Amino acid sequence: MFLNDSGETAWDLRFQVLGFPVRVQPMFWLTAVIFSGAARGGDLAFVLVGITVFFISILFHELGHALMMARFGQRAYIVLHGFGGYAAPDSGFGSWNGGSSRARSPREQILISAAGPAA
């Protein structure tokens, strides 16, 4: 997919928010710069505010998904990439509720999906 997650790189920014690991790929920043008006010759202050708003809004959206996954007993991680981001179950920590292998119910999946836009 165009500008999708290209896997981990040595230049990824890594940190945690509310206990969720977050990884930001370099292409995310390039996209943020473009959407912030730098390509149209916007002034530096406007571009920096735009990058900040872009970053915070997408991070909050993905945090909504991750928080709802945690509500249902599954750890998650967040990746911000070239054209947005995603929150995914962290398979490195086992399955739902500490090792059980149950699937998400339709209700849980709907709530997880809706939590991003709600955030």
pLDDT tens for 60-87 read: 999 999 999 999 999 999 999 988 999 9
Determine the average pLDDT of the residues in 91-111: 68
Q: Assess whether pLDDT exceeds 50 at residue 100.
A: no
Q: Assess whether pLDDT exceeds 70 at residue 94.
A: no
Q: Assess whether pLDDT exceeds 90 at residue 41.
A: no
Q: State residue 53's pLDDT score.
A: 94
29, 59 Cβ separation under 8 angstroms: no
Q: Assess whether pLDDT exceeds 70 at residue 33.
A: yes
